[in-house]
Structure 1
Amino acid sequence: MKSFLFALFLLYSILNLSAQQQNDSIAALYKKQNEVKLNAVMLLAGAFEASYERNLNEESSLGVSFFTPYDNENLDANINYYISPYYRIFFGKKYAAGFFVEGFAMLNSIDREYGVQDSGGFYTYEEESVTDFALGFGLGGKWVSKNGFVFELTGGIGRNLFQNDYDTTIVGKFGFNLGYRF
């Protein structure tokens, strides 16, 4: 009787271990920690925006985005670059996916045009590069496929903190990001 109970216990343990390994491998697909993404809308508009994101747990992540234009004629903006770290809180059922709220900071540089009046009363326009720091928030959604492909829609708005005497106090971020989780 003891050998029968021992054999039954051993069989149960093996089956339980096998089921646990299968569930762990499925869960591992969603619990990968790193993501790289490109903003497809900005690529079409004439700018390059890449992001790296690190998933901290199933509900939060940290990331950083880098933006720079490569075709100023098609991109109707005066921005030179921005570097934007962010923190996200997710409200979805999957690991670090679904609806999210984001808080971000942004170090940005823009070209500002201003008028200078000469001695004859005529205005000439000059351009200068202004660097500023902004804080803001955003909303979005993230979807992750079983093989690690990431699709993300995001938008956010912030305010520059230091150069408030110019017309560039409000900054924005938006994207249609495609990437990979590994």
Structure 2
Amino acid sequence: MKNSILCTFLFLFSIVLYAQDDPVNSDVKQASNEVKVNALYMVIGAVDLTYERLLNEESGIGLNVFLPFDDDIKDDIDYYISPYYRLYFGKKYASGFFLEGFGLLSSVKENTLALVGGDILVNREETVTDFALGIGLGGKWVTNNGFIGEVSFGVGRNLFNSNEFNNDFVAKLGISVGYRF
């Protein structure tokens, strides 16, 4: 009788101990997709949309697309497409301070100037496509409901078609809002 009570007690005790080994949040799945819009660029006349896929708690890859809708901005740039990789240093999952490496494929309008009789004339307008590599940094804040606020800055250098009319450097600036799902 004592042996059966002892065996039953040990069996129940081992079940309780086994149940305590499971992590509390083992069933919680982290959201790994984000969509964002750059609110700063919306104010100045362009749409800058971003999709980011979170790889783990400290890194993610993404793509952002810039399309101007204001005529003043369309006179300077047609579009840019920028893939990136981010490394996060925050305490929460894929948030906090980050470093970014990016590529930037852009299409800009270039005016070729000609000097005729002392007057400067615009000879022609052509579209120049170039690719830049750059680095950036910023910060991301995520609420418990998945809403995102982000501030970022990056600078890069064009690799192929830079000359006296086209800028050698590119810059990315963002004050973005979005959602993680």
Distance 1:63 1:3 in 2: 55
Q: Counterparts of 1:23-62 in structure 2 under 5 Å?
A: 23-25=25-27, 28=29, 31-62=30-61
Distance 1:162 1:146 in 2: 44
TM-score, normalisation: structure 1: 0.86
Q: Which residue of 2 aligns with 1:129?
A: 127
Q: Which residue of 1 aligns with 2:109?
A: 111
Q: Counterparts of 1:67-82 in structure 2 under 5 Å?
A: 67-73=66-72, 75=73, 78-82=76-80
Contact between 2:103 and 2:134, CA under 8 Å: does it hold in 1? yes
Instruction: Give the SS at the match of 2:91.
Output: coil
Aligned-pair CA distance for 1:12: 4.1
Matched length: 174
Aligned-pair CA distance for 1:67: 0.2
Amino acid corresponding to residue 105 of structure 1 in structure 2: G
**Structure 2: runs of 5 or more not aligned:** 1-5
Q: Which residue of 2 aligns with 1:89?
A: 87
Aligned-pair CA distance for 1:64: 0.7
Amino acid corresponding to residue 72 of structure 1 in structure 2: D
Provide the alpha-carbon RMSD of the alignment.
2.0
Match of 1:6 among 11, 20, 24: 11
The 1:178/1:77 distance shift into structure 2, 3 A limit, reads farther
Distance 1:128 1:46 in 2: 22
Distance 1:56 1:135 in 2: 22
TM-score, normalisation: structure 2: 0.87
Contact between 2:157 and 2:170, CA under 8 Å: does it hold in 1? yes
Distance 1:147 1:13 in 2: 32
Distance 2:27 2:175 in 1: 29
Amino acid corresponding to residue 42 of structure 2 in structure 1: L
Instruction: Give the SS at the match of 2:26.
Output: helix
Q: Which moved more, 1:54-63 or 1:108-117?
A: 108-117
Instruction: Give the SS at the match of 1:23.
Output: coil
For the pair shown, the structure with the greater C-alpha radius of gyration is: 2
Instruction: Give the SS at the match of 2:8.
Output: helix
